[in-house]
Amino acid sequence: MTHEAEAYIDDSRELRDDDTFCFSCTPDKECFTACCHDLNLVLMPYDIFRLKHRLGITSQEFLDRYTSVHVGQGSGLPVVMLQMEGPYLKCPFLEEGKGCSVYEDRPGACRTYPLARIAARSKDREGVDEFYYLVREPDCQGFNGGRQWSVREWKEHEGIAEYNEMNDLFGELLQAKTETGVQSLHADQIELFYMGCYNLDEFRRYFLEGPNLDRYMEPEEVVKSISEDELELLKFAIGWVKKKLFQGSCFACGLPPQE
Ligand code: SF4
Ligand code: SF4
């Protein structure tokens, strides 16, 4: 989970649900919370959704206060990262001596460690094929004398399923960009992507409260459901961005995707 996590991925073994590994992360470890510093932690749309609810702030406030935005290498799309703070580059949600202050709503990457999920969608098959690699961070003592887990048990214990489900939805959007062969997007289209995926309160204002013709093209029950349920709104927003940017011309900004 550190800035070099990819370098520590053990890709010699693909772990599926019934495969096992040994790990225990407990407060008595000398390394306790050391891993919550100096992270390059990419936030997914659902991570932001959970954290902004946890903190009781708007998505705009969350993005302004806790994140930095980068341009994805290759994709050219905005990538939102959790901003570390202070001289020791501490995660803003780490309470020294206590642990994670947002534990029940911590990001998917924090839950999944020491596993890294690899998910692929095939054009010919429904659903996602997933497996996991172990990430062996050199300073992590969790592998010393850890209890045995199956991947399935770890996923249940850490509450990973709903994060995976939402990340797969986001993955479909990224895959749609790849499949269209679109190399770069206009600034307006990038803004639309950022708003729909990360700034959900702004998307609500834009789609449900503003003079947006698209709203009237949606069935009444869909508009009702996304008005009343914010998770449904996030799912809708991700699908809507996909449709707008990669499945036809972009009516929102009046521009076709750039080749
Ligand atoms: S055991 Fe590993 S995951 Fe747990 S606190 Fe230590 S470094 Fe972090
Ligand atoms: S969100 Fe919690 S678990 Fe994740 S890095 Fe921050 S303090 Fe650690």
Whole-prediction pTM: 0.92
Cα 74 to chain centroid, rounded: 18
Cα–Cα distance between 36 and 96 in angstroms, integer? 10
Residue 54 lies in a domain: yes
- Give the range of the structural domain holding residue 228, as residue numbers without chain letter: 166-246
Count of structural domains within the chain: 2
Give, as one character, the DSSP assignment of residue 208.
I
pLDDT score of 259: 46
Pocket of ligand 1 (CB under 6 A): 25, 29, 31-35, 140-142
Tell me, yes or no, whether 253 lies in a domain.
no
Of the chain, the percentage scoring pLDDT greater than 70 comes to 92
- In a domain? residue 219: yes
Residue 243 exposed, middle or buried by CB count within 10 Å (0-12, 13-18, 19+):
middle
For the segment 52-98, what is each residue's pLDDT rounded down to a tens digit? 999 999 999 999 999 999 999 888 999 999 999 999 999 999 998 88
Task: Verify that 133 and 170 share a domain, yes or no.
Answer: no
The ligand whose atoms approach the alpha carbon of 26 most closely is 1
Distance CA 192, CA 220 (A): 23
Ligand 2 centroid, distance to 114 Cα (angstroms)? 14
One domain, residues 103 and 191 = no
Mutating to test ligand 1, I would choose from 32, 41, 91, 110 the residue with most ligand atoms within 8 A of its C-beta, which is 32
Domain boundary among 159, 186, 205: 159
Domain for residue 254, yes or no? no
Structural element, H or E, at residue 67: strand 67-71
Q: Are residues 49 and 64 in the same domain?
A: yes
- In a domain, residue 256? The reply is no
Report CA-CA distances (Å) from 205 to 62, 78, 199: 17, 21, 10
In a domain, 259, yes or no: no
Examine the domain organization and report whether 133 and 183 are in the same domain. no
pLDDT band, very low/low/confident/very high, at 2 (cuts 50, 70, 90): very low
- Asked, for residue 258, whether it belongs to a domain, the answer is no
Residue 204 and residue 130 share a domain: no
Q: Give yes or no: residues 151 and 170 share one domain.
A: no
Q: Let me know whether 9 and 133 are in one domain.
A: yes
Q: Is 131 helix (H, G, I), strand (E, B) or coil?
A: strand
The three-class DSSP label of residue 80 is strand
Q: Which of 44, 35, 50 is nearest to 94 (CA)?
A: 35
Residue 198 CA to residue 81 CA, distance in Å, equals 11
Q: What pLDDT is recorded for position 1?
A: 52
Test site for ligand 1: of 28, 35, 41, 144, most ligand atoms within 8 A of the Cβ: 35
User: What is the rounded average pLDDT of the residues 178-184?
Assistant: 86
Q: What does the pLDDT average to over 142-151?
A: 93
Strand bridging mode 94-95 / 99-100: antiparallel
**Separation CA 113–CA 139 (nearest Å):** 14
* End-of-domain residue from the set 129, 159, 189: 159
Q: Residues 226, 232: contact at Cβ < 8 Å?
A: yes
My answer on whether 29 and 141 are in the same domain is yes
Check residue 218 and report its DSSP letter.
S
pLDDT of residue 123: 67
Last residue in a domain, options 159, 190, 207: 159
In this structure, are 148 and 73 located in the same domain? yes
Pair 29, 122 in one domain: yes
126 and 170 in a single domain? The answer is no
User: Do residues 126 and 70 both lie within one domain?
Assistant: yes
